[in-house]
Amino acid sequence: MRLADRVNRITVSATGAVMAEAERLKSGGADVVDFGPGEPDFPTPEHVKRAAVRAIEQNLTKYTPTPGIAPLREAVCAWHQREFGSDYSPAECIISVGGKHAIFNAICALINHGDEVVVPSPYWVSFPDIVKFAGGEPVFVGADPVNAFRLRAEEVENVLTPRTRVVILNSPNNPTGATIEPEEFAGIVEACRQRDIWLLSDETYAHLVYDGLKPFSATQLPDAKPRLILISSFSKTFSMTGWRIGFTLAPEPLVKAMTKLQSQSTSNPTSIAQHAALEAARGPMDFVAAMRVEYERRRARILEGLRAIPGIECATPDGAFYVFPNVQALLAGRASDTTALARQLLEQEHVIVVPGEAFGAPGFLRLSYAVSMERIEEGLRRLQRFFTAARAAS
């Protein structure tokens, strides 16, 4: 079939393919340990669910303004101010169908054919494809595993050219969990400011940080605001992935352009989900704190278990809910790459992991610890068995 070039430029999300395979095996009754999930395993908080039920009962089920209902845009600005001390008005806020949609709209609103967009690598799978869809060229900047994947300003500066239009930052990062240290972040802001480059800060995981780190937003850097596109989401912070609510805080002309785009594609996000998000934004944050404590406990256990397997090296992630071990040393004589290794793990041990190639990082695997402690223990047992057998065979 003849398809449009813009569709041929992109590929299906690699993590989506893993989830589909997990579903297929599970529906066949297999006892699968699934380290694939990119979403919290906690239910959406009760008060948020009740708000959605109320919205249905009150017939709040019609079209809303394209950028979202006014109370939600106000509540998002107020929430962000409470959490990070930022100063945005509803005219500088647009609600979209998840953070992914917000990133898609922002990139499509800014990028012309041939524009370069800096993407930190290892990267979240959708960044390069969204850039390519818009006609831009992703330029990768590799964070050093030796520095626990923490991106440095100098590394970003080295890849900037006169064609660079946007720099994407993602702290904490998916898949590495690494954060960018505030001084380095400030250095990147300054480099962008000097060259009139937009900074797109994807803060989807900002609240999921450990070891006493405080949630950080680029809005805390004094010079960032004029060129900052801040994107975040209710998905991970409030365990609301399926509700599809994300938002952008950015200068008003860009918000207007994104609203125009949204008005001719999805229109408003679901009215019911917006009312649920309103409750989440206005409500208590203790649920988030409890989730963070549990993730931290699991992170410690999965790191300990992985590091006990000879040949595996794993940096300590600062945040999100992923570990990103280096398994390069265990590939020899076993698998050509981590995609082949992940397939073997699935077939032989019914363990699902995401291969590093999906994130531009061959030799690594991504394991999510948004799964119960009991499943983590079972998964570690199987990984231990798999890799011990692999060593014996090599």
Binding residues for ligand PLP (CB under 6 A): 38, 98-100, 124, 170, 174, 202, 204, 233, 235, 241, 246
- In the bound state with ligand PLP, the residue whose beta carbon lies nearer, of 98 and 305, is 98
Return phi, psi of residue 57, to 5°.
-60, -30
| Angle subtended by helix axes 99-110 and 126-133, to nearest 10 | 40
Report the nearest approach of ligand PLP to the CB of residue 69 (Å). Answer: 18
Count Cα atoms within 13 angstroms, Cβ side, for 229.
28
Determine the Cα–Cα distance for residues 82 and 48; give it in Å rounded to an integer.
19
Residue with the closest Cβ to ligand PLP?
Answer: 98
Report the nearest approach of ligand PLP to the CB of residue 195 (Å). Answer: 24
3-class secondary-structure state, position 118:
strand
Report the nearest approach of ligand PLP to the CB of residue 271 (Å). Answer: 18
- Count the neighbouring beta carbons within 10 Å of the beta carbon of residue 63: 8
- In the bound state with ligand PLP, the residue whose beta carbon lies nearer, of 95 and 309, is 95
Report the nearest approach of ligand PLP to the CB of residue 41 (Å). Answer: 14
Contacts of 234 (CB under 8 A, 6+ apart): 240, 243, 245, 246, 277, 280, 281
Report the nearest approach of ligand PLP to the CB of residue 242 (Å). Answer: 9
Determine the Cα–Cα distance for residues 130 and 137; give it in Å rounded to an integer.
10
- In the bound state with ligand PLP, the residue whose beta carbon lies nearer, of 246 and 379, is 246
- In the bound state with ligand PLP, the residue whose beta carbon lies nearer, of 105 and 233, is 233
- In the bound state with ligand PLP, the residue whose beta carbon lies nearer, of 88 and 124, is 124
Q: Which of these, 109, 70, 84, 82, lies nearest to 229 by C-alpha position?
A: 109
The single residue listed with the structure tokens 């054919």 is 113
- In the bound state with ligand PLP, the residue whose beta carbon lies nearer, of 236 and 312, is 236
Report the nearest approach of ligand PLP to the CB of residue 376 (Å). Answer: 20
Which two structure tokens, joined as six digits, stand for 237? Answer: 């912070």
Report the nearest approach of ligand PLP to the CB of residue 234 (Å). Answer: 7
Which two structure tokens, joined as six digits, stand for 15? Answer: 């993590």
- In the bound state with ligand PLP, the residue whose beta carbon lies nearer, of 88 and 247, is 247
DSSP category for residue 98: S
